[in-house]
Amino acid sequence: MKHINKIFLTLYLMVLLALPMVPGHPFSSVWDQDEALAMSSDTNPVGTNLIVEVAKKQNPAVVWVESVQKVQKMSRQRPGNPFFKNFPGMPQPPRRGGGTGSGFIINAEGYVLTNHHVINGADKIKVRLQVADKEKTYEAELIGSDRKTDIALLKIKREGDDTTPFPYIPMGDSKQLEVGEWVIAIGNPFGLSHTVTTGIVSAKGRDIGSGPYDEFIQTDASINPGNSGGPLLNMKGEVIGINTAIISGNTGGNVGIGFAIPINMAANIMKDLKEHGKVTRGWLGVMIQNLTPDLAESFSLKTTHGALVSDVLPNGPAFKGGLQRGDVIVKFSDQVVEDVSELPRLVATVPPGETVNVVILRDGKEQTVRITIDAQSEKEA
């Protein structure tokens, strides 16, 4: 009898555990698949061949990028920051300069996105892609690059009267990306072409100290030297980021922390590069700092949100618009400014000559000033 009771109890517990996974059951909302899936992609790859299908479809549009420079003198490389743009090394003999990285084609005309540091200083750029199960090398033209966001736009040079459309990867919406969402990285790490790795989005909006416009996607998908410029894809096969950097510690390889430029940012930069060959950014003309609790108390403020104006540059847009030292910028062009890192990105997206509303806190009271944005120069960056 006791044996029968144990069997009954075991079956009862198994039914209880299974109920939350039954669609339509009152408890099933705990495991609601629609709620759990990320917004950028509505498909879960677990238990499917989806990753295989995405890799097979998008691999032909991922290219090997080689930058060639004139002969360089012997030099000794020194260890740099932990991101893979810098490597410790040994003295090297005079050699032809340059390097390799990855990139991906974004339209049938043969435009390619990659990183600025992959092609920086190149005298000639070559790209290699898969054509009918074979690899073919083309020369590429540098349309423009942007050092501050580490983005470069190339265009493949066609041969003769060839008008065959190139394979390309459609762009997704990185704004819809969610932490925990599955992603795929494709590139050429250590010269191993078309390497596919998978992982998840570990975090969004990461500032890694590489520049004023840091807003990286962090992922644990394996990214290594040579992956620079390659695509980070969602489960729809859309590119949602450009693989750019890793934290490598002392190994020089991947430790599970990689960073990609959000594709929405890259798309805005690409538009300027395609039309003008360079990026024109807005300039406000202020020095700013974070509003700490002590500073907030000294200004009689109840919040630490916003960017504190520590200085106003003479004859700049902010000066002409009436901003003063000690003002706290809480909104810029209808966008909330949570902290000091957000303001440079917001200002940079405003076309020079456009007038925007800037909401500030002055003497504890909210005010709105109107400021006409100027163009940013290299010295003002």
Comparing CA positions, the residue from 161, 128, 155 lying closest to residue 143 is 155
Query: How far apart are alpha carbons 214 and 205 in whole angstroms?
Result: 7
Q: Which of 146, 150, 327, 374 is catalytic?
A: 150
Whether residue 327 lies in the annotated active site:
no
**H helices of the chain, where?**
2-18, 33-36, 50-58, 116-119, 263-276, 293-298, 317-321, 342-348
CA distances from 84 to 39, 223, 244, 255, 301 (A): 30, 10, 8, 12, 42
Would the CA dihedral through 336, 342, 344, 349 be positive or negative?
negative
Nearest to 131 by CA among 93, 159, 151: 159
228 is annotated as an active-site residue: yes
Which residue is catalytic, options 145, 193, 228, 333? 228
Identified catalytic residue from 117, 194, 202, 327? 117
- Among 215, 281, 229, CA closest to 106: 229
Q: Return d(Cα 187, Cα 164) in angstroms, integer.
A: 24
Please confirm, yes or no, whether 117 is among the known catalytic residues.
Answer: yes
CA dihedral 21, 23, 27, 33 (to 10 degrees): 70
Find the Cα–Cα–Cα–Cα dihedral 173, 201, 279, 64, rounded to 10°.
Answer: -100
Which of 270, 300, 244, 223 lies closest to 113, judged by CA? 270
Secondary structure E strands in 111-215? 111-114, 124-131, 134-146, 151-156, 182-187, 195-206
Write phi, then psi, for 192 (nearest 5 degrees).
Answer: -90, 95
Cβ neighbours of 198 (radius 10 Å): 18
Strand, coil or helix: what is 262? Answer: strand
What is the number of residues in the chain? Answer: 381
Report the largest interatomic distance among the alpha carbons of the chain, rounded to a whole angstrom.
93
> 293 is written with which tokens?
């609790």
Any idea which residues carry the catalytic annotation?
A: 117, 150, 228
